[in-house]
Amino acid sequence: MKLEDILNKYFGYSAFRPGQREVIEKVLDGKDVIALLPTGMGKSLCYQLPGYIFDKPVLIVSPLLSLMQDQVDQMKQFKEKRVVALNSFLNPMQKRASIQNLHDYRFIFISPEMLLQEQVQQKLNSMELSLIVVDEAHCISQWGFDFRPDYLRIGQVLGKPNRPPIMALSATATQKVLGDIEAYLNMDSPYKFIHSVDRPNIHLGKMLFQGREEKIEWILDHVTKTAGPGIIYTQSRLKTESLSQRLLQSGVTTAAYHGGMDPLDRQFIQQQFIDGSLDWIVATNAFGMGVHKQNVRQVIHESLPSNMANYMQEIGRAGRDGEDSLAILLYAEGDEELAKFVGIDDYPVDAHVDSYISYRSRNELPTSMIHNGEISETAFRVLDYWMNQLQPADVKQRLSSMKYEKMRAVEEVMDLIETNTCMREQLVHYFGQTLENRPEDCCQCCGLQYENIIRVREIIDAPSKELNWKRRIEQLLIGFS
């Protein structure tokens, strides 16, 4: 059967989107693949279709529980029953049963942490996989080094002899991220499908201010006068709350979103943003992955993103429908200091290395460092990873060079602020590509006028929009209680 026939039979499409066919063919040939495909261009099809050709299960490593759940739900809607998400949502009994029957599933979603568990390893070693997929593979680079070190171990546990091909998927990756993906997944000269990172319909703005309050004033003014939907990225949880409060007072339908919130609230707010009952979201960088919304018109950075990869990822959430959109980077003097501080704040230091060694020499578990309040859980995991990889002196060396890298990454974002050359050109160049065409109203340095891109709200626009059904029901319920 031809690939197109399979595509039609299982997915109902008549033609592949750019990149899909190449990527699938390589994998069927047994080759490793890194595919950078724009969001919404059918990344998941790249592993789902091979799943129907191969006889053996496809293993998909995924960074977020919510992401796994979405994908599983979606596949079940399409009548695929042989799909499972192996994660902490399962109770111990379900978990045991799932592991036991793992070989019977067609698609297995799993977190890196779960993947590394002994019992899972044992089972995986006893069975054959047809394909290993690492979804949102930039997480290896983005999170592996200082946050979720298990991301760096994926390659170690999956890289057995006679392993199936590995497919790494992402929307954007810098040269460095690409290198990290290839290295840490132990890939074998992978085929790379890389689309242009440029998104001509996203117009790039920047605004420089003296003080931080002025940025807020500008946002309040700008957001009340222009059309959403939009995302405002800021650095701290508190600020998401305070800024969204002020926007609410100005009549903007908005909500805060950050990692400290109740998961159900987060889900609810995300859903409201997607279905249009919220115009704006004020969020930390917790917001974004797995948010499939086509018509985001604006992305505003109230504070500096911590590196270019994040910046690209975050502005990339605008204009997925291809319509003109605006990404505005705000800067006030000294912002880079905060970005640097936050970047290296929760990070092991030399004293932690020494302490770790002394625990070991006393035959005590280094994990006690956490319970004794010496170190955060996150920093400990990072420390523990490197202590198991390198000699202590090298660990210190490594930690300091990683800190330096983080500060340098902030400086690279500062280049966007400080230089007066085309922002698009800088961005694209940073990703190791060259810019083919410059769109009209390209960026701040090419004479961008915001009002050419974003509809200015008419004064007649009532501040409170028509209530949708969800809100109506909520109000009814409040009325009765």
Q: With respect to DNA, which residue has the nearer C-beta, 253 or 303?
A: 303
Q: Is 88 in the site for DNA (CB under 7 A)?
A: yes
Q: Which position among 381, 385, 416, 422 is part of the footprint of DNA (CB under 7 A)?
A: 381
Between CA 126 and CA 272 the distance in angstroms is 44
Q: With respect to DNA, which residue has the nearer C-beta, 148 or 222?
A: 148
Reported as half-sphere exposure (CB side, CA atoms, 13 A), residue 338 has a value of 13
Q: Which position among 203, 258, 301, 396 is part of the footprint of DNA (CB under 7 A)?
A: 258
Q: With respect to DNA, which residue has the nearer C-beta, 335 or 441?
A: 335
Q: With respect to DNA, which residue has the nearer C-beta, 293 or 297?
A: 293
Q: Is 404 in the site for DNA (CB under 7 A)?
A: no
Q: Which residue bears the tokens 């029901």?
A: 473
Q: Is 265 in the site for DNA (CB under 7 A)?
A: no
Q: Is 26 in the site for DNA (CB under 7 A)?
A: no
**DSSP tag of 461:** S
Q: Is 414 in the site for DNA (CB under 7 A)?
A: no
Question: With contacts defined by CB under 7 A, how many residues of the chain interact with DNA?
Answer: 44
Q: Is 227 in the site for DNA (CB under 7 A)?
A: no
**DSSP tag of 204:** E
User: Binding mask 324-353 vs DNA (x if CB under 7 A, - otherwise)?
Assistant: ---------xx--xx--xxxxxxx------
Between CA 385 and CA 468 the distance in angstroms is 49
Minimum distance, C-beta of residue 263 to DNA, in the bound complex (Å) = 7
Q: Is 236 in the site for DNA (CB under 7 A)?
A: yes
**DSSP tag of 374:** S
- Cβ burial of 388 (10 Å; 0-12, 13-18, 19+) is exposed
Q: How many other C-beta atoms are found inside a 10 Å radius of the C-beta of residue 469?
A: 9
Strands (DSSP E) contained in 261-386 are 280-283, 298-301, 325-332
Q: Is 71 in the site for DNA (CB under 7 A)?
A: no
Minimum distance, C-beta of residue 4 to DNA, in the bound complex (Å) = 35
Q: Is 146 in the site for DNA (CB under 7 A)?
A: yes
Residue 249: CB partners within 8 Å, gap ≥ 6? none
- Cβ burial of 451 (10 Å; 0-12, 13-18, 19+) is exposed
- Tell me which H or E stretch contains 168: strand 166-170
Which residues of this protein are in contact with DNA, per CB under 7 A? 63-66, 87-89, 111, 113-114, 117, 142-143, 146-148, 211-213, 235-238, 258-260, 284-286, 306, 333-334, 337-338, 341-347, 377-378, 381
